[in-house]
Every structure is written in structure tokens, then in C-alpha cells.
Amino acid sequence: MAETASETHDLIVTVVRKRCVEGIIEASKEAGAEGGTVISGRGVGIHEGKKLMGIPIEPEKDILLTLVPEEITDRVLSAIIKAGNLNKPGTGVCFVLDVKKVAGIVHFLENM
């Protein structure tokens, strides 16, 4: 059986405009996160229906996945919101998911 951890972790999911994620990653690291995973995406929300000279713009997005111990979630989330200006409309969205089990972060769990 694979080794998993049932420690309490959260997954912070951040969706922002393409190429806006670097400052957010730095802010989350300064707040205690070890890093994150960036996935490319495409937005389809109300702010993405804009056109340029009659041609629809396909807005590219970056999705940042940040796995953190539950005790630092609020601190990292606040840093992400500030760095991404997520309190302003149309800048992105960020939410937190509970993680029940984790595998593959052995180095992180050994330090706990």
C-alpha cells in the first residue's frame, strides 16, 4: 500500500490572467507555502466575452494549485489575495478545498 498522510492540508486554487501568477507564487512562498503547480486554462466567465475588432478574445488563464498545511492556509490565502489584487472585479478567483489524504510530499511530512 502506498504511503499517505492524513495530516490536515488544504488546496488553495487560484485562477488569474495568463502571466500574472509569478508574483502570486512569490507571495505565497513568503507566507510559508513551499511552491505550487501552474496549469494553463481558458476563461469562459462574464468578463471573458470581450472582442478586439470584432474578433472574440480567448482569454488564457493560469491556474495555481498550492498545497499547504491547514494551519498556514489563512496566511497564504491572504498573501495570494493581496498579490493578485483579487479584491478587484475581473482579476481572478481563489478558493480553498479540504484535502483528506496526501501522497508524494514525503520531504514535507518528514519536517513536520
Q: How far apart are CA 25 and CA 36, in angstroms?
A: 7
Return the sign of the alpha-carbon dihedral for residues 33, 103, 14, 12.
negative
Band (pLDDT 50/70/90 cuts) for residue 60 is confident
Q: Residue 20 has what pLDDT? A: 87
Which domains does the chain carry? 9-110 (3.30.70.120)
- Quote the pTM value: 0.79
> Is the pLDDT confidence value at 111 over 70?
no
Question: If you average pLDDT over each of 29-33, 43-47, 98-102, which comes out highest?
Answer: 29-33
